[in-house]
Structure 1
Amino acid sequence: MNDVLPEPEAALSLTRHRPFVAFWCLRVCTSLAFQIVAVAVGWQVYAVTGSTLALGLVGLAQFLPMLVLTLPAGHIADQIDRRRIMRLCQCFEALAGLLLLVTTATGVSPPWLIYVAVVMVGAARSFEQPATVSLLPAVVPRAKLQQATALTSSAGQTASILGPALGGVLYALSPVAAFAAIVVLFGLAIVCTTLIRIEHAPARREPLTLNNLFAGLSFIGTRPILLGTITLDLVAVLLGGAVALMPVFASEILHTGPWGLGLLRAAPAVGALVMSLVIARFPMRHRVGRKMFLAVGCFGAATILFGLSRSLPLSVLALVILGAADVVSVVIRSALVQFATPDHMRGRVNAMNWLFVGASNQLGEFESGVTATLFGTVPAVVIGGIGSIVVTLLWMRLFPAMRDVDSLEALTPENQPKVQAQPAATAAAAPR
């Protein structure tokens, strides 16, 4: 049986599991494509407009579709074969890349047309992400989900290291080459998605009502493990967003140049990549709830160390530790959400989770900028790290069920604690 295989052998067996190999390859392709889009579009917008505000609008153009479409995207991911959703979205993303390719090749690249392409990518990604994440438990055996999550995370981390550099090199050679690579990568993702052969149970057909639309949020609210897991990520990342201030640290505190900034930006991804491969070979079997809290605490401590460091090697080391700790938390939290959610709800729950993660990243950068303006750059990062540790200790007390999770594989939607909603009549009669 797979459950009794030695851990390294069990991890390696995923590389011979064809549906997972196809899934992993499609994540590499789409992650690389998104990274190249970010670099190429950023360069092109600034080259055309010369405006930093225009650069900020690129991020807004990606975030707004996610904000508007997340709830219906989650509902649809629970109604239709998720592979069909993914293929359609990848076709739409390839079409956006083709639009950028044609306009660049013909020399007609007005800013509004670039924003249209960015909105197309953001809208497609809003539907693709919940469907993709929700598909993984159907691709691998339950006992391999933690390892599969770690290996999938390694794909994303690899793309975050190589993607910006690849996008920069291609754009330097020719903007047309960069946009052509985007189209090719999304095309390869379509092929990989088509190669995922799994048994697909017919989805529950539910009408698009407000109750069904918000069912994911309601489900999370009645499950302390899910509520604690998702809000821990939201608050910890919100407070620990030191990435936005890296340019200031590189130039004014560590006194290094652009190469040093590149090193700082790559360091968390390097730590995350190494740790994700370690987890894939040696998965966490017991006391995973406490390990998750320990990882978030280490994330906060590494943030403080980075804020106080005046040495480039020490700062890089702190960011490597930060990335490694973050991926431990990400793998456990991702697996907890998958194991604690029934399949017919995974699309909606993962959509809400992705919205919270996206919001925490965006708002975390905003929070770092505001606190740096109010208190200074170093105090802002240190305060954020301390806040992450405080949140960790507070959440351990508020969500003991999450803290006491021992084995991920033993967690099911049926055996987790629930919060019973108070009946409306009782709530109305309750004394105030």
Structure 2
Amino acid sequence: MTMIDETHDPARTSWIDSANGHPDFPVQNLPLGVFSAAGEDPRIGVAIGEMILDLRGAAKAGLLDPSWSGALSGSALNDWFGRGAADSRALRRMLSAMLCDESRRAEIEPHLVAQREATMHLPCAIGDYTDFYVGIHHATNVGRQFRPDNPLLPNYKYVPIGYHGRASSVRPSGEAVVRPSGQRKPPEADTPAYGPSRRLDYELELGIFIGRGNRLGQTILIGEAADHIAGYCLLNDWSARDLQAWEYQPLGPFLAKNFLTSISPWVVTPEALAPFRKPMPARPEGDPAPLPYLADDADQANGGLAIKLDVTLSTAKMREAGLKPHRLSQGEAAAAMYWSAAQIVTHHASNGCNLQPGDLIGTGTLSTADDNGLGSLLEISRGGKAPISLASGETRAFLEDGDELELAAHCEAPGAVRIGFGTCVGRVLPAQP
């Protein structure tokens, strides 16, 4: 498990003024991403305040360890993530020292780009995307709508449930959400019809990027799984609930989810999250203990993520009137997750499935036990039966054209500097003919 070191020192400041007190990207964070600016090709960078440090440029200038140049000079983070946790820690310490040492300003400043001048890209070439279902309150809330007396199926508390999603439709924050079309069959209808989804929804999740992978046929031990995680982002698993209700049996999600998955562009490293670890929630009395391959005392003591999550909605009418976005949800990841990130990774590889650097894993929707932290409109509107009222006089049970969703997240803890994930934004456009 990643340890706290000098890079987390709350007294540490950067000579880049905008980093000091920045709500997301102080020098204690240093997330990685891929950006382009001024007509140049995409490259790897690190967020620092309102700026981006171009790591390709820094490597070519001899400012970084020469052995890293190849992995940091590409247009995606896959090769870098594959180098593993030790190099990740070493890069963080080197960057922190450079960005806090005023005497290094002259040699580093030429490699800084303002974030407002940059276009963000996917951080990795995502070979595979798997979405899990570890948010127990979401699973319970959704299950109760279909099975009031038995919302969780018997396997839920034994096995981390997941499905393979569509990697090609994962996009960075800002990509338009074109309303999907598909087959819908309301309960009162005799036959299905094809057309635009009428129950478009979001799902608040965390994304987990795989770092060092494993060979086909090889497993990942639970005590080593954390070292296979390169970092975290926000993830919005856009969902067409009416399409999903008709198609998901017997094989699970398909067209209802593969039209778009949005992620925030900056990857927050496990090292940056070290001060914000906490125990996993205690399992309720009577719940089964994890099977031995998923059981690790250190992970249970330190595998929880004290990440505060926030979702807001603005409609076209609200934006035109200058109204503030409506807050849909505020919660914490640790309180929502029945299975830890390490357990997800271990289970994914437990049959010998080969995970690869840059693979993306979604946690599943992260809802808290109370109504303030529900992670989807399906839950908030009680399946559409209890629409929410907005300051514009509009109501919403599901998303309408022109609606914009914003996910945000940050971490706070005593004795630590606040860090954030940035945002994950998507605006709904009408279905295409």
TM-score (norm 2): 0.28
TM-score (norm 1): 0.28
Higher helix share: 1
Higher strand share: 2
